[in-house]
Amino acid sequence: MNKSQMRIRPLFVWSLLGAFLFALFLPGFLEHPVGKTRAMVFNTINDERQIASGLQQRAIATGSLSNIDNGFIFHALFGTNDYRFGYRTNTLGEVLDIWGMPYQIQIVAQTNFVIRSAGPNKKFGDADDIIFNSVSNGFVKP
C-alpha cells in the first residue's frame, strides 16, 4: 500500500469528533438533577429498609413495639454504635432522611409499623413521599 492509497476517511474523523464531544459533555449529563434525585430516593428506600429490619428484629426480641418517638427508636435500635445514620440525626436524636427531614415512624399495632420520608419536596402527605409499610412488607404510595 502506497501513500496515495492511505487517506483518512470522513466517517473516522466524524467518529473521533463525536467521541470527543461525548466525553466532554458526559459529566454534565451524569450530574443531571433527575438522576441525582433518583439516587437520593434509592438511598432513602435503602435507609427505610434498614430501619424496618431493625424494628422487625426488635419486635421479635421483645414481642411488641410500643408507640415511641423517632429518637428513642434510633437509640434503642442502634445504641452508641457507629452506625451510618449517625451523621444524619438532628439535635433531638431523630433519624433524618437524605433531604434533612426526620423520618416519621408510626407504630400501628404491636408488631406493625409505617416509616415515612417526606421525599424531595420535604412535605409529608403528597405523591413524592416514600412510605414503607410492615404489613405489606414493602413500599406503598401515599
What is the DSSP annotation of 3-63? TTT----HHHHHHHHHHHHHHHHHHHHHT-HHHHHHHHHHHHHHHHHHHHHHHHHHHHHHS
Of the candidate ranges 62-76, 94-108, 123-137, the one whose mean pLDDT is the lowest: 62-76
User: pTM higher than 0.75, yes or no?
Assistant: no
Q: What are phi and psi of 135, to 5 degrees?
A: -65, -45
Q: What is the reported pLDDT for 81?
A: 55
- The residue with cell 464531544 is 21
Tell me what the pLDDT averaged over the chain comes to. Answer: 76
Q: Are residues 127 and 141 in contact, defined by beta-carbon separation less than 8 angstroms?
A: yes
Q: pLDDT tens for residues 43-58?
A: 888 888 888 888 888 7
Domains defined along the chain, listed by start:
33-140 (3.30.700.10)
Q: pLDDT tens for residues 5-62?
A: 556 677 776 777 666 666 666 555 555 556 678 888 888 888 888 888 888 887 887 7
Q: Nine-digit cell at 6?
A: 492511505
Task: Please indicate whether residue 76 or residue 118 has the higher confidence score (pLDDT).
Answer: 118
> Predicted confidence band at 77 (pLDDT cuts at 50, 70, 90)?
low
Q: Average pLDDT of 92-105? A: 86
Q: Nine-digit cell at 53?
A: 429490619
- The CB density around residue 119, as the number of other CB atoms within 10 Å, is 23
